[in-house]
Amino acid sequence: MSTRARVARLQRPTGIVLAGVWFIALAIRLLYIWQISYAPFFDLRLGDAESYHLWARRIAHGDWLGQGVFYQAPLYPYFLAIVYRLFGDHVTTVRLVHAVIGSASCALVARAGMTLFGCRGAIAGLLIAIYPTALFLDSLLEKSVLVTLLTAALVAVIAGARDRITAVRHLWIGIILGLLALTRENALLLIVPVAWWVRSVSTWRMVRLMVLGVAIVLLPVALRNLAIGGEFQLTTSQLGPNFYIGNHIGATGTYEALVEAHGSAADEREDATRLAEQASGRRLTAGEVSRYWLRRSLDDIRSQPLDWLALVSRKFALALNALETADTESQDVYAEWSWLLRVLSPFNFGVLLGVAAFGIALTANAWRRIWFLHAIAVTYTLSVAAFYVFARYRFPIAVMLTIFAAGGLAVAFDVFVRSGPRSAPRASTLRIALIAAAASIGFAYLPVADERAARAVHYFDIGATLARNGAGEGEAMRFYERALAEVPGMPAAESGLGTLLVETGRPAEAIPHFRTALAAWPDHFEARYNLGLALARTGAAEEAAGELTLALGARPDDVDMLAALAKVQLTLDQPEAALQHYQQAIALRPDHVAAIVGSGVALATMGRADEALARFRRALDLDPANADAHNNLGGALANAGRVAEAVPHFERAVELAPRDENARRNLERARRVLANGK
């Protein structure tokens, strides 16, 4: 039999096994998507998913280069833009594409396991196929699915490169590493252990080829950042803010926004830049902003080194904890809508870690062949603990753990079943393996995370998104209340519920919620601003003015806040102060119609009728359908004795705002005046 025929014969069963793993994984993922399709949040894009969606739409519509230095890792939105161009941007379409990609990841993990441990190594692919967190993350509308695919591809190619040392394979190792760094920036650190392994099994030429592969991917991105943003950044400019979030004095090991209640990527970038520039007293480039936060982090570490070491220990424990620390979307909340996810949930990270530890002990004799798995797993764990921990950030570790677990199960089968008890390892080896498994599981179940907080965050985000989209006040309120049931007094949920109550005409009910939020977050200017609005609507004008003034102190250039404070000052008979704040708002935004109308009211109150008329007319030039401007212009004309000219404006105001009793009364009075000839 020829060499080609023997290779084909060996590859045929491998291909069948891999196809079987892919099919099983896809079937499981499609069933899961069908189950969660009935959830009220299935079509919602929460957190990063919304920013990636908007970014991908801009790319799909032709904005391929974008603006400034990348702040978020760019690979996923560009991939998503291609999906949008080919298949459309419906949520179900994206989730189905993710299911196909996630299934391919399972097949690649199976391939790596088979390369390292024989046919039984395919168990690794089956483990990742039924691993509930993999199932959950593959369906999310964010980049985790690509991270898993690239991690699996990296391990599969490295596993095969030892036996077939070729230039193309090592070039591909570098390309995959570069792509992985464009989805998770901390993956750049994997270059060190991978290069070390490449050198140990081949030559420096292969190391250079690997580095060339990385450069092929990252150099165009760095040159794009230089051309568009003016700075040479290999991937993104968020190193400094991210390091500070995870390492500042008082950090908890998970994400904490630089400004209270600001969790989106857009908020983070804006806050990081604004705060750094305020501290520096000048405009800063993206790289300078990153370096500012990095310096602050290092200053905090130097000032309290023991506390920082304790923090790193906590982050390491979080990175290996059985609970899945969620940032925006919680696996537990999705499990409420999927019996499949609930059935698989006992197979959590803690169990996987224990089985992997058992496998590591039993495969210790093969360390020369598989030590790259140990190096990648340890390096990635440390890279996560260096910043802050989320379940989706630490997930690539699970790829290595499933392969270790499969290796251990394969060895156990060969020794205890196939070869019989006479070939069993020494009792001490078995004891070590069992002790390692038990210790790992025990460590994973240390009480360092709170699953209630993760559920509460997800409920809050669902409520906030529903409220923002106007999808149903009752549904939004229900999810806010569920968040508060999980974590009573949760500031974000209290503030969100209060805002919804104000918007639905229940300001008196909203006030206690804002006060509770501010008790925990005294610097939360949005809650204070909305409290001011609620107080104003309940007639507590003086208290409202005080709250709005405090809120304005945090954001002196907030146009809406300036206009709101000015409106309250008018009710307090302070037209001069009101006019000053309206003028500030107009200077910041000359097209702010509400501020222009309000300034006209202040001018009219001060007896400056001609100026007031000019303001109202200016407002109508900008927005001809503004009922408030029509009503106030009609009032100014009527006060000037020009009632006939006022009537059409009152009529238009009533037409635009049928429930405005003030406009309706003005119209009735004007008509009576004309009818009486007065």
3-class DSSP string for 75-88 = HHHHHHHHHHHHHC
Choice between 486 and 163, residue whose per-residue pLDDT is larger: 486
Quickly state the pLDDT bin for 368 (edges 50, 70, 90): confident
Please check the confidence at residue 535 and state whether its pLDDT lies above 70: yes
Q: For the chain, how many residues are written?
A: 678
Whether 560 contacts 572, CB under 8 Å: no
Largest separation between any pair of C-alpha atoms in the chain: 117
Quickly state the pLDDT bin for 626 (edges 50, 70, 90): confident
Whether 246 contacts 307, CB under 8 Å: no
Whether 280 contacts 218, CB under 8 Å: no
Whether 281 contacts 271, CB under 8 Å: no
Residue 348 to residue 131: CA distance in whole angstroms: 7
Quickly state the pLDDT bin for 11 (edges 50, 70, 90): very low
* The pLDDT value given to residue 141: 92
Q: Which residues of 416-433 are buried (b: 16+ CB within 10 A; e: fewer)?
A: eeeeeeeeebeeeebebb
Average pLDDT over residues 259-284: 82
Q: Is 513 helix (H, G, I), strand (E, B) or coil?
A: helix
Quickly state the pLDDT bin for 376 (edges 50, 70, 90): very high
Which residues lie closer than 8 Å to 463 by C-beta, 6 or more apart? 475, 476, 477, 478, 479, 480, 482, 483, 493, 496, 497, 500
Report DSSP letters for 134-188, one per residue. HHHHHHSSSTHHHHHHHHHHHHHHHHHHTTS--HHHHHHHHHHHHHHHTT-GGGG
Please check the confidence at residue 7 and state whether its pLDDT lies above 50: no
* The pLDDT value given to residue 422: 47
Which residues lie closer than 8 Å to 128 by C-beta, 6 or more apart? 25, 105, 106, 109, 134, 152, 398, 399, 402
Please check the confidence at residue 470 and state whether its pLDDT lies above 50: yes
Please check the confidence at residue 427 and state whether its pLDDT lies above 70: no
pLDDT in tens, 495-507: 888 888 888 888 8
Report the chain's mean pLDDT, rounded to a whole number: 87
Residue 459 to residue 486: CA distance in whole angstroms: 9
Quickly state the pLDDT bin for 9 (edges 50, 70, 90): very low
Please check the confidence at residue 83 and state whether its pLDDT lies above 90: yes
Please check the confidence at residue 25 and state whether its pLDDT lies above 90: yes
Please report, in angstroms and rounded to a whole number, the separation of the first and last CA atoms in the chain.
114
* The pLDDT value given to residue 295: 94
Residue 541 to residue 571: CA distance in whole angstroms: 7
Among 22-36, 155-169, 397-411, 533-547, the range of highest mean pLDDT:
22-36
Q: Is 606 helix (H, G, I), strand (E, B) or coil?
A: coil
